[in-house]
Chains A and B, each alone.
Chain A
Amino acid sequence: MTRTGRWQTVALAVLVLATGFPFYWTIVSSLTPEARLFQAPSLIPTTLVLDHYRALFRERDFWVPIRNSLVVAGTTTAFCVAVGGLCAYALARLRFRGKAPILGLILAVSVFPQISVVSPLYLLLRSLHLINTYPGLVLPYLTFAMPLTVWLLVGFFRQLPAELEEAAMVDGASRLRAMWEVILPLALPGLAATAILTFVYCWNEFLFALSFTLGPERQTVPVAIALFRGQYQVPWGQILAAAIVATTPVALLVLAFQRRIVQGLTAGAVKG
């Protein structure tokens, strides 16, 4: 091995260690008994127990926030991809006046600091009787997730050659049919990437979820974890266990679609 090769290996090892260690520590801590958490922490655990996980699902019923998060993030993502997809297609392909202002406006909606719209949104949702409901979370989530979806998808659709749809239309397909038969299958990597990004974004959202829910029956995972801490104690073991439970499905999802996401995000960067 050459000198540079060796240094590269060392640098890589340090980098991997620095990135991986927090995950390792989280996993180990979530499996360490509460009593041992703060005494003599050691890198290699001696006793591993599932106490925290048991407590999470038996005492706290962590299934409820998981279900809530799945419903809210899933519904938002489905809406975003379906409606945002049509919207992005129109913005990418049809000729009409005011296209640039519309794109700008969509972007502008998403750049408001969340905290500045929490109060007006709260009043709005209260007058609609939507506080502490699923729609009461999905609708506000659409305000930031939809612009993200539209912008990403406009990019993907623009990269597909227009001649393909023209060929489909000359072959007898209507515009919507051409989109369905030709453009959507080709944009699938982009759609998958967009859907996952939107889902992760909604899955981790905290401020809206905290503000627009009242009790555990509608709280999402991040809110539930934040409210674990009691007046006199912080159940670190359970918090870390919950973090693992909340992260794993998303991580698996991303890993499963990893290649598609990378393809989607870099599509058209080079001719292929």
Chain B
Amino acid sequence: MASVRLEGVEKVYPNGHVAARGLDIAVADGEFMVLVGPSGCGKSTALRMIAGLETPTAGRVLIGERDVTALPPQERDIAMVFQSYALYPHMTVRQNLAFGLRMRGETAAAIAGRVEPAARALGLEGVLDRRPGQLSGGQRQRVALGRAMVRDPQVFLFDEPLSNLDAKLRVETRAELARLHRRLAATIVYVTHDQEEALTLGGRVTVMRDGLVEQVGPPMEVYRRPATMFVAGFVGSPAMNLLEGGLLLPPAARPTAAGDGSVTLGIRPHDVEIVAPGTGDTDARVDVAEPRGSELLLHLRLGADGGGAEVRVVAPPEPSVPVDAVVGLRCDRQRLHWFDSRSGRRLD
């Protein structure tokens, strides 16, 4: 296993689209790093540059301490799981699993010695002689995983491998991936647009936007102390409330504006409590109430007349709150996030 480093990597496509503007990402040996961000943020391009499927316009890519910027994919000793799985449709599962070993000139005995255990570990021993077209979605996903596992590469790359699975299978496979990482102690770079996946899987999470890194850190740090307003709004579900000027709080509790810019208050829907009208920090009118089983998601409008900014609050499912009721909101003072409205940076 090896570390991976992107140093000042830029990527401009011939059509002028800029996918990376000076990326610096360092993945330690054996680390599970998740690149997360909205579509078009450059996370997939970053992964493809590590794989060698795209060439950076500027900067360096290092695997271990080796500069691989100019090397083609086959000389980088990596394994990749594609979003579409990219299984070879004309080969059996066994041949699919063996392909990488065969390309590296392993003997038939050595190949069998690696394919069989991998197939057993993934529960594929019954379908080894079938072709991908005869497999279920979950089985295909496991074949793609197995094809990467049998080879013992320097780095595993995952490009949204769970996005084609249904919700239940996704949760199961997520747990399987976490187990796999622990067992192999492998270096993994994992791309997803799903912030929940990023939080549950990542040893560390890199949040990206517009070809730039917004924040790097362990999942809970990114969740608890988002470095920018973008990260605050992107990570966590339901999304954090961002209120310019801190309207949610009584004027005395708002900080004096930093410099000449105004400030934005961020507070997660879980950190606001519903109280009797007039007893909290402010009053609001219930606009929509969505029961979600274990909790109730309320969309409210500030002010007793319901004409102010929208705020989302997660409340216990009981007692239920009727639509159009006026309630009080109390913010957890330990969980306030203040941002500079202009730069988007965190203030404390």
Interface residues of A (CB under 8 A from B): 95, 161, 163-164, 166-175, 177, 181-182, 185-186
Contacts and interface: CB of A to CB of B under 8 A. Distances in A.
Contacts of B53: 166, 169-170
B103 A171 contact: yes
Interface string B94-108: 000001100110000
Given A166-B53, A168-B99, A174 B86 contact: no
Contacts of B52: 169-170
Interface stretch (B76-84, B115-123, B224-232, B263-271): B76-84
Contacts of B82: 163, 166-167
Interface in B61-80: 72-74, 78-80
Contacts, number: 60
Nearest to B104: A172
Contacts of B90: 185-186
B217 to A, nearest CB: 29
A181 B104 CA distance: 14
17 contacts: A163-B84, A164-B88, A166-B80, A166-B86, A167-B87, A167-B88, A168-B99, A169-B52, A169-B72, A169-B74, A170-B78, A171-B99, A171-B151, A172-B100, A174-B74, A175-B72, A186-B90
B73 A170 contact: yes
B51 interface: yes
Interface of B: 14, 51-53, 72-74, 78-80, 82, 84, 86-90, 99-100, 103-104, 147, 151, 157
B99 A170 contact: no
Contacts of A167: 80, 82, 86-88, 147
A177 B102 CA distance: 12
Contacts of B88: 164, 167-168, 182
A175 B104 CA distance: 14
B89 A186 contact: yes
Contacts of B73: 166, 169-170
Contacts of B103: 168, 171-173, 177
A170 B84 contact: no
Contacts of A173: 74, 99, 103
A182 B79 CA distance: 17
Nearest to A177: B103
Given A163-B82, A173-B103, 9 more contacts: A167-B88, A169-B73, A170-B157, A171-B79, A172-B100, A172-B103, A172-B104, A174-B74, A182-B88
Contacts of B100: 171-172
Contacts of A171: 74, 79, 99-100, 103, 147, 151
A61 B211 CA distance: 74
Given A171-B147, A172-B100, A172-B103, A163 B74 contact: no
Contacts of A181: 99
